[in-house]
């Protein structure tokens, strides 16, 4: 019994210790959405209008958007899928396709 009381006495102060939290520099982005590589999962609606226009054009007809991310550099990355084929597109801050 003494061991249990001693253990509780030693461990209970840890309940009041604050551990550091690493937040994204943009306060609008929650830590839950921050991925390990610095990308943040966002909604398709959050893309710049020109990127949305590109994705809805004839070039990507039949492709489904399966993931949309914002990079720490401010670019956008969109994962597309058509059947068994997948591809990723990268857009700059203004929504123009990058290389």
Tell me the three-class secondary structure of the chain, residue by residue: CHHHHHHHHHHHHHHHCCCCCCCCCCCCCCHHHECCCCCEECCHHHCCHHHHHHHHCHHHCCCEEEEEEECCCCCEEEEEEECCEEEEEEECCCCCECC
- pTM, full prediction: 0.63
pLDDT digits (tens, 9 = 90+) for 17-40: 565 555 545 555 554 455 557 789
Provide the CATH number for the domain around residue 84: 3.10.450.360
Is residue 21 domain-resident?
no
Is residue 66 domain-resident?
yes
Domain coverage including residue 80: 34-99
Both tokens of residue 33? 């959405």
Is residue 49 domain-resident?
yes
Domains in the chain, number: 1
Is residue 3 domain-resident?
no
pLDDT digits (tens, 9 = 90+) for 66-96: 999 999 889 999 999 999 999 999 999 998 9
Is residue 14 domain-resident?
no
Is residue 1 domain-resident?
no
């Amino acid at each position: 019994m003494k061991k249990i009381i001693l253990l509780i006495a030693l461990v209970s102060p840890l309940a009041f210790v604050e551990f550091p939290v690493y937040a994204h520099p943009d306060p609008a982005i929650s830590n839950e959405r921050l991925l390990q590589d610095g990308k943040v999962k966002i909604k398709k609606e959050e893309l710049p209008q020109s990127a949305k226009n590109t994705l809805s054009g004839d070039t990507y007809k039949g492709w489904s958007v399966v993931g949309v991310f914002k990079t720490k550099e401010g670019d956008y990355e969109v994962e597309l899928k058509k059947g068994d084929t997948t591809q990723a597109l990268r857009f700059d801050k203004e929504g123009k396709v990058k290389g």
